[in-house]
Copies of this chain bind each other. A is one copy, B any other.
């Protein structure tokens, strides 16, 4: 493997720290069916390879970007787990999402060239850096990439509609179930068990995402366990009765 040539167009600073010497490429990435290159032909994917040259390691607790940072790149999660959060003037914070392998982070920065939220690794992670300028340029040549970018952004909007529904219209117990089923589905899509979940976030972070306090999350989980629908042990959750859990959402009372 040859010594990598640093990409001259990459932003200086934070993004160059932790640069990996691995050759990044979508073409031989096992996430290509989930991630940015969905819908691209082999040829098209190779053109994307040209600009997805940089991988970055992000350690647990490290920020990928912060509110106010200049926006240069989107980021695709390769391994690991992230949270994004927004802050209120008085320090209150709201977790806006949890992000796992194959998901793209940083879309918030496109609009005004600055990030408007923080992204923090919840475990040691690796991401692919997607320089936005080059991505946008290529997407004008490769229609499938253009479509895919629009699709990714649109899906993020739809995802957030779901969170708004959760925060605005569900009670605490329902929110927890909705979260678990969503996580279960995303794990299943990646070939993991849909029953055995390992939560990567604290009860407090989960509570923030769900708009309730950490004690409420804990109580809701205990209640579901008492009802025989799942087993909880710290951050490990086993879903014992998926149909019943789904029914809790589909038909509330």
A residues near B (Cβ < 8 Å) are: 86, 88-90, 92-96, 107-112, 116-117, 136, 139-141, 143, 146-147, 149-158, 160-165, 167-170, 208-211, 249-253
Contacts and interface: CB of A to CB of B under 8 A. Distances in A.
Contact of A96 (B140, B156, B164, B253): B164
28 contacts: A86-B162, A86-B165, A89-B249, A89-B250, A90-B251, A90-B253, A94-B165, A94-B169, A108-B157, A110-B153, A110-B154, A111-B150, A111-B154, A111-B155, A111-B157, A117-B161, A136-B146, A136-B147, A136-B150, A139-B140, A140-B141, A153-B154, A156-B157, A160-B164, A163-B164, A164-B167, A167-B211, A168-B208
Contacts of A136: 146-147, 150
A157 B116 CA distance: 10
Contacts of A107: 153-154, 157
Contacts of A143: 140
A154 B109 contact: yes
